[in-house]
């Protein structure tokens, strides 16, 4: 068993959208609580992040998370709501991140991601030449790759999201318990289903992109695509009635608040992930 904490569960603009006055955002502002969604990223156990949200600092403060314990960050892609380069580079700034004890070694962090993530890091060091390169060890990842970090195994799947970048989704497992973390993406490709089939084990938890809500999918999924994905995974035998099914990366686009959408999806056996939700995988 390992823990998955959703630090943020909103789409790029957040919920309510930062500068948005649409009716859904106005209702979300009034209702508060789980209607307030920061930009998506997730914590695995205490030492691994999937993505680094522009909201990572307030997320850590709100949830009492000590980010100095983070040993690896696994990126899905470089959209600015997932790769906060400013926060990432501060990890390489010895004036900003001080590691006085030897438990952290040289204070290095392992960063996993596609080539665009590697290029972003290169740019970060060009802009900040005084920062310490040895503090950030970049590991290139492409679809079909597997790697191990922080005691968990990751298997990269192709996302269907951004034309000029090989965006990734991840199967995460500890040898027994398995998570599918799948945002940002439109409907999964046959290649992704092939990798899931090859992996072959049942998922304990599945988290699917649902930025589109009640709208048809595009580079993100909506409820219709989520239900079709779940049917397919069920037919493949990798989910069953004990699998926790969560929707994530929810946007104001379809004009419905998180609470309203949560009510809507209950009948399908689905839950909308919310900021601070911790699940045991």
Give me the residues that bind Zn ion (CB under 5 A), please.
12, 17, 20, 22, 25, 79, 81, 184, 252
Task: Supply the angle between the helices 258-265 and 23-31 in degrees, to the nearest 10.
Answer: 90
Residues 6+ apart with CB under 8 A from 185: 159, 160, 161, 167, 169, 209, 219, 220, 221
The tokens describing 111, both together, are 């960063």
The nearest distance, CB 24 to Zn ion, in angstroms, is 5
Q: What is the DSSP string of 78-105?
A: --TTTB-HHHHHHTT-TTTS---SGGGT
Residue closer to Zn ion by CB (options 182, 239) is 182
The nearest distance, CB 249 to Zn ion, in angstroms, is 6
Residue closer to Zn ion by CB (options 24, 152) is 24
Residue closer to Zn ion by CB (options 81, 275) is 81
Strand order through the sheet with 168-173 = 146-149, 152-158, 168-173, 178-182, 205-209, 244-248, 271-272
Q: Residue 23, SS3? A: helix
The nearest distance, CB 252 to Zn ion, in angstroms, is 4
Residue closer to Zn ion by CB (options 4, 239) is 4
The nearest distance, CB 118 to Zn ion, in angstroms, is 17
Residue closer to Zn ion by CB (options 79, 104) is 79
The nearest distance, CB 28 to Zn ion, in angstroms, is 8
The nearest distance, CB 72 to Zn ion, in angstroms, is 20
Residue closer to Zn ion by CB (options 255, 276) is 255
The tokens describing 7, both together, are 């630090």
How far is it, in rounded angstroms, from Cα 25 to Cα 5?
24
Question: Do the beta carbons of residue 72 and residue 110 sit within 8 Å?
Answer: yes
């Amino acid at each position: 068993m390992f823990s998955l904490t959703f630090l943020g569960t909103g789409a790029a603009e957040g919920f309510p959208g930062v500068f948005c006055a649409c009716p859904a955002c106005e209702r979300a502002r009034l209702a508060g609580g789980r209607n307030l969604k920061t930009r998506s990223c997730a914590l695995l156990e205490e030492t691994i992040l999937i993505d680094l949200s522009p909201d990572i600092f307030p997320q850590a403060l709100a949830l009492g998370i000590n980010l100095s314990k983070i040993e690896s960050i696994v990126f899905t892609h470089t959209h600015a709501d997932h790769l906060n380069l400013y926060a990432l580079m501060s990890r390489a700034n010895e004036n900003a991140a001080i590691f006085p004890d030897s438990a952290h070694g040289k204070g290095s962090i392992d960063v996993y991601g596609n080539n665009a993530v590697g290029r972003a890091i290169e740019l970060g060091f060009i802009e900040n030449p005084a920062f310490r390169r040895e503090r950030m060890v970049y590991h290139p990842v492409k679809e079909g790759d597997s790697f191990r970090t922080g005691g968990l195994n990751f298997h990269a799947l192709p996302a269907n999201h951004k034309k000029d970048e090989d965006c990734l989704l991840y199967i995460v497992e500890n040898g027994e318990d398995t998570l599918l973390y799948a945002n940002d993406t439109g409907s999964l490709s046959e290649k992704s289903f092939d990798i899931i089939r090859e992996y072959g084990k049942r998922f304990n938890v599945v988290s699917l992109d649902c930025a589109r809500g009640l709208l048809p999918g595009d580079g993100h999924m909506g409820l219709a695509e989520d239900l079709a994905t779940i049917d397919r995974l069920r037919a493949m035998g990798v989910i069953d009635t004990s699998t926790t099914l969560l929707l994530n990366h929810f946007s104001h686009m379809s004009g419905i608040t998180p609470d309203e959408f949560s009510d809507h999806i209950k009948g399908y056996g689905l839950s909308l992930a919310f900021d601070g939700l911790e699940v045991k995988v």
